[in-house]
A and B are shown apart, each in its own frame.
Chain A
Amino acid sequence: MSDTSLSGRDLIAEHGRTRDGLMPAEMGYRSITDEVVGAVFARPTRLWMALVGVSFLGVILLVVSIWVLLAEGVGIWGINSEVVWGYAVANYVWWIGIGNAGTLISSMLLLTRQKWRASINRYAEAMTLFAASIAGLFPLLHVGRPWLVYFMAPYPNTMDLWPQWRSPLVWDMFAIACYVLFSLLFWYTGLIPDLATLRDRAKTKAVKVAYGLFALGWTGSSRQWRAFNAYYYAMAALGVPLVISIHSVVGLDYAATLMPGWQETIFPPYFVVGAMFSGFAMVVTLTIPIRWGLRLEAIITRNHLDAMAKIMLFGGLVMTFSYSFEWFNAWYTGSEVDRAHVVAQFTGQYWWLYWLMLACNGAVPQLFWFRLCRRNLVILFIAGVLINLGMWLERILINMNTLSHGFLPATDSTYVPTFWDWSLFLGSFGLFCFLFFVFAKVIPTATIHEIRELAHKEGAAR
């Protein structure tokens, strides 16, 4: 109680850190609540307002791009009769990859009892939810007539038609829909106890009612905690295979075709690791501004970033292995078109993008062999952005390289993105940032009840 007024930083200055460096050695429950809830109830800063404003411009760009697309058709994009999958499909794969990581991170860390999870899982899950929802937008727009998309749903209709269950497109729709709903339930359930904290801390009636409605009358009774834990851990256990299946289905969209560079058995696992890799990079990219902007240095420490950097290093190694396996596979199959595909990757019209991708995904993570780089915020942030760029290039190149170099040299073509390709991508990014900034101000960015539990175990609170 005596430390009510002390912030996390002051506590570290006074008591030092716990032995594993995850939190101040003395941090009462009240200080933990103050630290996280304070960020929600504090007056919005000018910086935050500016960020929301800028990202809202992106939302406007997205709306305009979709409007024009619906009016004009997919001809406004750079896709042509050969390269039929352009930015829309690449962006879909990239966003769903980022979206997969949040649940994967949160579930795996919970199941393996990683103590450092509590500080990052909440916004990793929020990231999942927003990214997966945005990802779902792209296939809808890509089909060209989004208003007929309900044709894919199995429902009795006057045409007596049923979905083609052997088609990856149908698998995709089920995978995304199930995943978005699952992520929403997982995220919301973990949020209920913290919403109750906000309800009990709210100063005005309107705020109390708003949080109270979503807290569902949570009391923290042992009966509720028992049901909560049973459900939450079971969801985490289900989340891991679900995520793996989702991105495997995305990989199958490619692997189920006959195209060179796509028809590979390695695609499903390689897509899953790519998702984890880009997702951790995105979490790091988001964490650094969040902990600085919301002053959460006591709860999100450099040890957290260090641990994430190690996972990025692992992801980078697996990605590099996957790329080299693709080259090996092309050589080993003896298929001429596959070999020509690899040569085209290195020396074809998109060679510079391919080399840039290899640099971002293969070389940049090697920095994390060094402790200095794992703990330097500037290096981590730049590396996170570069890895995201590299993973985006990978998704783009998977489409462009294969489709522009098919079986017939006569059909070789070039994909040149148009203004509307870029505007839709930037707009989706704007929507993501907008949702994220609003989330960070309205909902506790760290899981308060788990941090309390951690504080008790670590001896920082009794």
Chain B
Amino acid sequence: MKPRMLFAEFSTADALTDAVRAMAKAQGGRRFETYTPYSIPGIEEIAAAQGARPSPVRTVMVAAAAVGAALMFFLQYWSSVEAYPFNSGGRPYNAWPTFMLTTFEITILSAAIGGFVTLVVTGRLGKLYNPVFDWDGIERASDDRFMLEIELDPVNTSDPVVDRALSDLLRHHGALTVRERVA
């Protein structure tokens, strides 16, 4: 049985944050997602309190930086000590201080690329169609409206009273419209 989705539209960021907070208090643990024109710290806090994990982007960036740095240093060490030792005025083959310059640039670039790939993967970017685009008016989520999508229980298991209470709560907190559909 497919779950049903509830979709509420707000005209201000503050109303959206209040509504999400009230919902988390009244019916905690519901799966929800917001769609907003800019990032709203209040939503982040509520999601974190509900157990949303922080983005893995920075962890990956650190790992990518370490791998990039090691590879770049190894490449320079190996090519100037093993593959092509070139005696330039008696300077050491393993001139590690000068190797640091390119190692540093590659470290930063590796972190940047690793982070971007993680952003694309975890943010599910690159998928040009998303079911949320089927809601009427969703295009204003990138302009001046603040959307909230909540997962309701499937029809046969849900309690109409609870559902009704939820939409009333959203309207009470300033939702302009509240709509429902089967996902």
Chain A positions within 8 Å of B, measured between CB atoms, are 1, 28-30, 33, 154, 160-166, 170-171, 174-175, 178-179, 181-182, 185-186, 189, 192-193, 196-197, 199-201, 212-213, 216-231, 234-235, 238, 241-242, 245-246, 249, 252, 449-450, 452-453, 456, 462
- Give every chain A residue within 8 A of B113 (Cβ-Cβ): 181, 185
Q: Assuming A216-B128, A231-B115, is B86 touching A164 (CB within 8 A)?
A: yes
Q: Is the CB of A224 within 8 A of B125?
A: yes
Q: Is the CB of A200 within 8 A of B112?
A: no
Q: How far is the CA of A238 from the CA of B64 in the complex (A)?
A: 13
Q: Is the CB of B142 within 8 A of A227?
A: no
Q: Is the CB of B143 within 8 A of A216?
A: no
- Give every chain A residue within 8 A of B11 (Cβ-Cβ): 1
Which of these binds chain A: B22-30, B100-108, B164-172? B100-108
Which of these binds chain A: B1-9, B53-61, B151-159? B53-61
Q: How far is the CA of A219 from the CA of B140 in the complex (A)?
A: 10
Min CB gap A290→B, angstroms: 23
- Give every chain B residue within 8 A of A462 (Cβ-Cβ): 12-14
Cross-chain contact of B111 among A200, A213, A238 (Cβ < 8 A): A238
- Give every chain A residue within 8 A of B127 (Cβ-Cβ): 217
- Chain B residue nearest to A163 (CB atoms) is B79
- Give every chain B residue within 8 A of A235 (Cβ-Cβ): 112, 115
Q: How far is the CA of A219 from the CA of B129 in the complex (A)?
A: 10
User: What 3 A-B pairs come out closest when comparing CB atoms?
Assistant: A29-B144, A200-B139, A162-B79
- Give every chain A residue within 8 A of B181 (Cβ-Cβ): none
Q: How far is the CA of A213 from the CA of B125 in the complex (A)?
A: 11
Q: Is the CB of B143 within 8 A of A197?
A: yes
- Give every chain A residue within 8 A of B34 (Cβ-Cβ): 221-222
Prevailing SS type, chain A contact patch: helix
Q: Assuming A162-B83, A449-B37, is B47 touching A154 (CB within 8 A)?
A: no
Sample of 5 A–B contacts (CB below 8 Å): A170-B102, A174-B102, A175-B101, A217-B125, A456-B13
Q: Is the CB of B80 within 8 A of A165?
A: yes
Please indicate which of the listed interface residues A171, A229, A231, A462 has the most CB atoms of chain B within 10 Å of its own CB.
A231
Cross-chain contact of B119 among A30, A181, A228, A238 (Cβ < 8 A): A228
Q: How far is the CA of A46 from the CA of B130 in the complex (A)?
A: 40
Q: How far is the CA of A163 from the CA of B122 in the complex (A)?
A: 38
- Chain A residue nearest to B149 (CB atoms) is A221
Q: How far is the CA of A454 from the CA of B127 in the complex (A)?
A: 29
Q: Is the CB of A227 within 8 A of B36?
A: no
Q: Is the CB of A450 within 8 A of B80?
A: no
Q: Is the CB of A200 within 8 A of B119?
A: no
Q: How far is the CA of A227 from the CA of B118 in the complex (A)?
A: 8
- Chain B residue nearest to A212 (CB atoms) is B128
- Give every chain A residue within 8 A of B54 (Cβ-Cβ): 226, 230
